[in-house]
């Protein structure tokens, strides 16, 4: 076992950075909806809500890598809904934007860390990813 602390991080291909992922990644397709702005409590209109929808094929228990059309602020903590193809209901999670960089083909690559949080489906998420890894 290595003494290096591999935590969720950037995916640079340089020898200095290596692969910082702490868990194995799934190649399952998932739809990710990030809530960038929400309406005021008690506001019945959806006019103030703004979401960003993206797809990923690279995810784990603790992290998700997305390609987005706009940059996200590093350190931002956002509500997210993640829909796996084999599970009908989306998982309500809290995520932190760990890194964001411009993609070669335009757009942005974003690394999200999934946060353990009350009032989310974190435990159900962990179980679903573990189940998918054991089946695949």
Query: What is the pTM for the complete model shown?
Result: 0.74
Tokens of 37: 């702005």
Q: Tell me the mean pLDDT in the region 107-135.
A: 89
Q: Is 122 helix (H, G, I), strand (E, B) or coil?
A: helix
Q: Tell me the mean pLDDT in the region 68-78.
A: 95
Q: Tell me the mean pLDDT in the region 36-41.
A: 73
- The residue behind tokens 């956002």 is 78
User: With 50 as the cut, is the pLDDT of residue 26 above it?
Assistant: yes
Contacts of 131 (CB under 8 A, 6+ apart): none
**CATH class of the structural domain 30-135:** mainly beta
Q: What percent of the chain has pLDDT over 70?
A: 69
Q: Is 126 helix (H, G, I), strand (E, B) or coil?
A: helix
Burial of 56 (0-12, 13-18, 19+ CB in 10 A): buried
Return the higher-pLDDT residue of 127 and 40: 127
């Amino acid at each position: 076992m290595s003494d290096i602390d591999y935590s969720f991080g950037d995916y640079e291909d340089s020898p200095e950075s290596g692969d910082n992922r702490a868990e194995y990644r799934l190649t399952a397709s998932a739809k990710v909806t990030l809530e960038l702005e929400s309406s005021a409590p008690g506001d019945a209109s959806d006019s103030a809500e703004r979401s960003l929808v993206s797809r990923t094929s690279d995810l784990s228990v603790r992290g998700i890598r997305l390609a987005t059309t706009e940059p996200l602020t590093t350190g931002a903590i956002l509500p997210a809904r993640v829909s796996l193809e084999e599970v009908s209901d989306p998982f309500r999670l809290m995520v932190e934007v760990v890194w964001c960089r411009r993609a070669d083909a335009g757009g942005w690559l974003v690394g999200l860390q999934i946060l353990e949080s009350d009032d989310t489906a974190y435990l159900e998420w962990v179980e679903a990813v573990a189940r998918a890894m054991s089946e695949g």
